[in-house]
């Protein structure tokens, strides 16, 4: 007995659930939120990190293949906010930060809302890979935004 038709439908359903781009993560209430790569202009608006924060002991982690992601929320939901995503160089896994509050791109440092400081390793190019897209889905649900914006549920 063959199940190829059922298998094809299941495969198609799973493929439709997996986001293919940042834009594909937000699937509901898109008038309230758009997810994009942050632009240089947007990042230039972030305040600089003061010199005293360059103490290497204060750095939480170095992220490689990093990207700044802009969570373009409606004004009533907080406005545009930037997060840093990348691969934690020590733990070797996908990583994302809380909202970025200051950046020193010349020295490769960012400060997050939670008070963590991250060093920027190698910069990623273009859209993040599928593993990072799925990680962003998890993070948005952890922050309580996933359901409102129709973000696919991912568990790992």
Domain segments of the chain as ranges: 20-142
Tell me the average pLDDT across 23-43: 95
Share of the chain above pLDDT 70, in %: 93
Tell me the average pLDDT across 2-29: 88
DSSP for 44-98 reads HTSPPPPGGGG-GGGEEEEEEEEEEEEEEE-GGGT-EEEEEEEEETTT-SEEE-S
In eight-state DSSP terms, residue 123 is B
The string of pLDDT tens digits covering residues 107-136 is 899 999 999 999 999 999 999 999 999 999
Burial class, 108, CB count within 10 angstroms (exposed 0-12 / middle 13-18 / buried 19+): middle
Q: Per-residue b/e over 45-81, b at no fewer than 16 CB within 10 Å?
A: ebeebeeeeeeeeeebbbbbbbbbbbbbbeeeeeeeb
Tell me the average pLDDT across 52-56: 55
* pLDDT score at 52: 47
pLDDT at 57 over 80: no
């Amino acid at each position: 007995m063959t199940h190829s038709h059922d298998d094809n439908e299941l495969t198609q359903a799973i493929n439709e659930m997996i986001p293919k781009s940042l834009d594909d993560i937000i699937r509901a209430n898109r008038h309230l939120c758009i997810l994009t790569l942050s632009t240089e202009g947007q990042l230039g608006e972030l305040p600089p990190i003061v010199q005293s924060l360059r103490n290497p002991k204060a750095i939480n982690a170095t992220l490689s293949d990093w990207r700044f992601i802009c969570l373009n929320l409606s004004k009533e939901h907080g406005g545009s906010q930037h997060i840093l995503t990348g691969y934690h160089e020590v733990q070797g896994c996908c990583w994302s930060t809380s909202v970025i509050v200051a950046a020193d791109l010349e020295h490769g440092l960012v400060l997050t809302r939670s008070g963590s400081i991250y060093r920027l390793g190698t910069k990623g190019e273009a859209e993040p890979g599928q593993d990072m897209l799925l990680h962003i889905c998890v993070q948005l649900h952890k922050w309580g935004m996933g359901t409102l914006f129709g973000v696919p549920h991912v568990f790992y």
